[in-house]
Structure 1
Amino acid sequence: MERYDLIVIGAGPAGLSAGIEAAKHGMNVMIFDENHKPGGQLFKQIHKFFGSKEHKAKIRGFNIGTELLKEAEEVGVKVKLDATVTGIFENKEVTVNHDGAIHHYKGSSVIIATGAAENMVPFEGWTLPGVIGAGAAQTMMNLHGVKPGKKILMLGSGNVGLVVSFQLLQAGCEVVALVDAAPRIGGYGVHAAKVARTGVPFFLGYTIKKVEGSEKVEGVTIGKVDEHFKIIPGTEIHFDVDTICVAVGLSPMSQLLKMSGCAMEDNPKRDGQVPIVDEYGETSVPCLFAAGDVSGIEEASSAMIKGRMAGLRAAYKTGFAEENLMEQNESLFEKDLDSLRQGMFAPCNRGKLIEKTDEGISVSKNLLAKGFVADDEIERFPGVTHQKGIHPVIECTQNIPCNPCQDACRKNCIKIGSCITALPVVAQNCGCTGCGMCVASCSGQAIFLVNEDFEPGFTSITIPYEFLPVPEKGTIGKALSRSGDILCDAEVVGVRTAAAFDHTYLLTMKVPNEFGYKARFWKKS
């Protein structure tokens, strides 16, 4: 039986972070993962992360995964792949199926970071080929380069449904609709807005009635629901589709924790059956920890911090970290984690209708109901200003934990302050140079450069653009509104990128002045 100071189960963001932190303090660490590649969900995530630079904000998920793997290798963490943990027993003995046999390992401490699994909702036709989880669609697209389908309906408006909808569009799929039985958007408004402005319609308060097809998905009918979530007769709408993506939440994969004998609870606020843990992730079994989504669903940024906290505490409990060093580092981790748990999307606000921002500004009702901020609502937010010459316009309208735009602007045009959930403010007469760093750094693609004095009668708008092929200067297309409606012809007057933009192109189009504060997307005619 092989012995290690720490055994980590799961090589995702939480597990890798835990192993790295423990190894930094001298622990001999082994990580097991059942997959062929390490990194968990990170390598499926091609979007840029939220948070601050301490949380790896504005870095794409797969690049964060690469950084973690490199760091793990540098500190001597061992990672065994294609290794399925089949059991965890008394005295922290772990059985692992790999190389065609069952092997036994013993750890002085164990961290379980097995993550979460996609939920499914039954409806007529839900077992047909072509009905898949949104995470499965991400795997097909972003890991294997395979389109999940041609015409797709997305069920679920949480962050997963919104992010995957946008990535489906990037892959060249048509998203015919985004549907959710809930009466309002569940994820970040900036994620919803970037989907809406491409022309995808939102159907909030609707659900799937029936998927049509005998051997595969050939169509779908949705209907509006009443207060009991029953479909109202006569409200049905049909779509011709070949794929249904389901994004209706995640459930912690806590089976190994239950097997270990630690105290468990059914906790809806933590998304299901989870272990009872302290603030460091330690369960009722000494030196057995849970880290990441297995103890409650949060963003990957939070999972990485919780992993580091568990790794550090494991090092302390087994004599590898001194108490004063542990307390100092844990204080920093707690501060970082707390900053991610503020604002409208804090765990304490789950399920609540937030009507005012922290600044006292009325939340956009249109955004919650239709996925985009209405023209008569947008001017109330501090990031939306009118100035001479080129300047940023920030359509960030919710208290989301994110501040890369503030760090990106060398002219200090953008202010968020010490609280990263505050709404961005654009300074008057800020001296913007039009460098575009704020546009490229915005994880929510909610920043635009506007020049109302571009040409007589025309305004230029620089937008973040992440679609291929990238249009050339001089191409005439259509300018789309926040709702995805066609406004007018729009000429591309500039396209640029740079290494610092990390594969985000800055597309500048010119439109008549009347559309300067309405046009937010460019589409080929």
Structure 2
Amino acid sequence: MKRYDLIVIGAGPAGLSAAIEAAKCGMKPIVFDENAKPGGQLFKQIHKFFGSKEHRAKIRGFKIGEDLLKEAEEYGVEVVLNATVIGLYPEKEITVKIGDQVKHFKGDSILVATGASENMVTFKGWTKPGVIGAGAAQTMMNLHHVMPGEKVLMLGTGNVGLVVSYQLLQAGCEVVALVDAAPRVGGYGVHASKVSRCGVPFYLSHTIKEAEGDEYVTGVTIAEVDDKFQFIPGTEKHFDVDTICVAVGLSPSSQLLKQAGCKMMDTPGGYIPECDEFGQTSIDGIFAAGDVSSIEEASSAMIEGRIAGVSIAAAAGYMTEEERMAQCESLEQALGSLRKGMFAPENRGKIIKETEEGIEISTNLLKKGYVADDEIARYPGFVKKVGVHPVMECTQNIPCNPCQDACPKGCITIGENITSLPVVDVEKECIGCGMCVASCSGQAIFLIDEGYEEGYASVTMPYEFLPLPQKGDKGMAFDRSGSPVCEAEVIGVKSAKAFDHTNLLTIKVPADMVDKARFFKR
């Protein structure tokens, strides 16, 4: 039986982060993962992260994964793949199935970072080929470069459903609708908005009644539900689809912790272990971090992993208690900033009617996925000014501030509170560099020139679809709801390494359409 200073179960963002921190202190950790590749969910996440610099904001998930793997290698972290941990015991021992053999290991400390599994809902035909989880769709697209289907209906409007819907569009799929039994969009409004302006309709207070087809999915029927989630007769709607994608939440994969005898608790977020502020469970030396201890974003999982790694190193005598407290205090502050705003854990299930600034929330955004024309002007990022200037369509208090750092002229301010709505300073001169547009993880910033030429204005927007339009291309401009509003001409396409694959597409539109045009199709 081999012994290690630290055994980590799971090579995702939390597990790798913990192993790296422990290795930095001089420990010799080993990481086991059942998959053929390390990195967990990070390599499926092609979108840019939210938060601030310390949270790796505006960096795409797969790049963060690459950086973690490189760092793990530099510090000598041993990673064993295709290794399924099948047993965890209170004595901090594990059994691992590697190939055809079951091996036995013992650790001075154990960190469980096994993540979570996708939830599923049942409906007539839910077992037919063509009904898949959103995570499975992401794996097919972003890891194996395979389209999950041609015409897809998405069930669920949390961040996973919204993000994967957009990635389906990027992959060339047609997303016919986003459906949710809840009466409000569950994820970030900026994610909903970028899907909506592509023309995808939202059906809130609806759910799937039946997946149609004999041998596989050929269609789907949805229907409206009442406040008790019962179908309302006569509200059925049919869609021809070949794929139904389900994004209805995650459940922590906490079975190993229960097997070890850790104290567990049943919460709205799933069955999770009781942990202290450093991630230690009720069993001394057994820790948990990431989605296995609470479902959050990957940014939070990485910080939780780092806190656990530092704490494990301190308990093993690799750093002083003072050093541990200093590092953990800084990490806790970073973690705390991600847990603020409208989507903070304490706000789950609550109806938020106003922003932190006292501005009325867009009801249209929550019900239809986009901010209405008569609502957008109430937010401080939406301004009118002569010459080129940014327009910020960020309307919810979410933890994110890359736009503030991106602007070289200080035109955009958020302040010390990372969840504050962005404000455009009309006294500052915008040079039209587009760095704010490219840096926005929610694709919610546009550059406007209301006086581009007589009778016309220009709109510069983020664009992440291929093939890229070319200068001179003509087509239609679409509004926030995805409805065509006017003819448009491409007058500029800018790509740069600093933009990190977010291209800047500039279109010319009639002057009276400058506040409406938010997407372009040839």
- TM-score of the alignment, normalized to the shorter chain, above 0.5: yes
Aligned to 1:323: 321
Whether the 8 Å CA contact 2:147–2:171 is kept in 1: the answer is: yes
**Alignment correspondent of 1:497:** 495
Deviations 1:74-101 (A, max 9, x none): 1111100000001011311111111320
Aligned to 2:358: 360
Deviation at 1:37, TM superposition (A): 0.3
| Cα deviation, residue 324, structure 1 | 1.0
Give the drift of 1:280. 1.0
Structure 1 counterpart of 2:433: 435
- Identity across matched positions, percent: 67
- Once the two structures are superposed, residues 125-172 of structure 1 have per-residue CA deviations (whole angstroms, 9 ceiling, x without a partner) of 000000000000000000000000000000000000000000000000
Write out aligned runs for 1:240-251 (5 A). 240-251=240-251
Number of the residue aligned with 1:192:
192
Matched position secondary structure for 1:412: coil
Alpha carbons 2:386, 2:450 under 8 Å: kept: yes
2:459 maps to which of 461, 477, 499: 461
Which structure 2 segments of 5+ residues have no match? none
Of 264, 275, 278 in structure 2, the residue corresponding to residue 277 of structure 1 is: 275
| Inter-partner Cα distance in structure 1 for 2:30 and 2:473 | 54
Name the aligned partner's letter for residue 264 of structure 1: M
411, 416, 419: which one aligns with 1:418: 416
How many residue pairs get aligned? The number is 522
- Provide the C-alpha distance between the structure 1 equivalents of 2:418 and 2:381, rounded to a whole number of angstroms: 15
1:511 paired residue number:
509
CA distance in structure 2 between the aligned counterparts of 1:199 and 1:107, rounded to whole angstroms = 53
Aligned residue in 2 for 1:480: 478
Q: What's the counterpart of residue 340 of structure 1? A: 338
3-state SS of the aligned residue for 1:91? coil
The code of the aligned residue for 2:219 comes to G
Contact 1:462–1:506 (Cα < 8 Å) also in 2: yes
The residue that corresponds to 1:18 in the other structure is 18
**Is 1:42 aligned with 2:42?**
yes
CA distance in structure 1 between the partners assigned to 2:89 and 2:287 by the alignment: 14
| Superposed displacement of residue 320, structure 1 | 1.2
1:38 and 1:509 map into 2 onto residues whose CA distance is: 42
After TM superposition, the structure 1 = structure 2 runs for residues 248-259 of structure 1, keeping only pairs within 5 Å, are: 248-259=248-259
> Secondary structure of 1:169's partner?
helix
Confirm whether residue 228 of structure 1 aligns to residue 216 of structure 2.
no
Q: Given that residues 12 and 113 in structure 2 are in contact (C-alpha distance below 8 angstroms), is that contact kept between their aligned partners in structure 1? A: yes
TM-score (norm 1): 0.99
SS at structure 2 position matched to 1:145:
coil
SS class of match (1:509): strand
**Aligned equivalents of 1:38, 1:79: Cα separation in 2:** 8
Q: Is the 8 A contact 1:387 1:429 kept in 2?
A: no
TM superposition shift of 1:65:
0.1
Cα deviation digits, residues 344-396 of structure 1 (max 9, x gap): 00000001110000000000000000000000000000000011100000000
Q: Which residue of 2 aligns with 1:118?
A: 118
In structure 2, how many angstroms separate the alpha carbons of the residues matched to 1:95 and 1:141? 33
Provide Cα deviations, 1:220-279, integer angstroms capped at 9, x if missing partner.
0000001110110000000000000000000000000001111011111xx111000111
Cα displacement (A) at 1:198: 0.3
Aligned position for 1:51: 51
* Structure 2 counterpart of 1:490, one-letter code: A
Task: Name the Cα RMSD after superposition.
Answer: 0.5
Q: Secondary structure of 2:91's partner?
A: helix
Aligned mates of 2:90, 2:6 — CA distance in 1 = 15
2:193 is paired with a residue whose SS is helix
1:514 Cα deviation from its structure 2 partner: 0.9
| Alpha-carbon shift at residue 425 of structure 1 (Å) | 0.2
**Residue 399 of structure 2 aligns to a residue in which SS?**
coil
Partner residue, 1:377: 375
**SS in structure 1 at match of 2:114:** coil
Residue identity in the other structure for 2:252:
P
Distance 1:291 1:411 in 2: 40
Q: CA deviation at 1:429?
A: 2.8
Instruction: Indicate the SS of the match to 1:391.
Output: strand
State the 1:117 CA deviation: 0.3
Query: In 1, Cα distance between the equivalents of 2:337 and 2:135?
Result: 27
Residue 103 (1) aligns with residue 91 (2): no
* Superposition map of 1:303-322 within 5 A: 303-322=301-320
Q: Which amino acid aligns with 2:422?
A: P
Structure 2: how far apart are the matches of 1:423 and 1:265?
A: 36
Q: Paired residue for 1:400, among 395, 398, 401?
A: 398
The 3-state SS of whatever aligns with 2:390 is strand
SS at match of 1:144: coil
Aligned to 1:451: 449
| SS of match in other structure, 2:266 | strand
Letter in 2 for 1:350: R
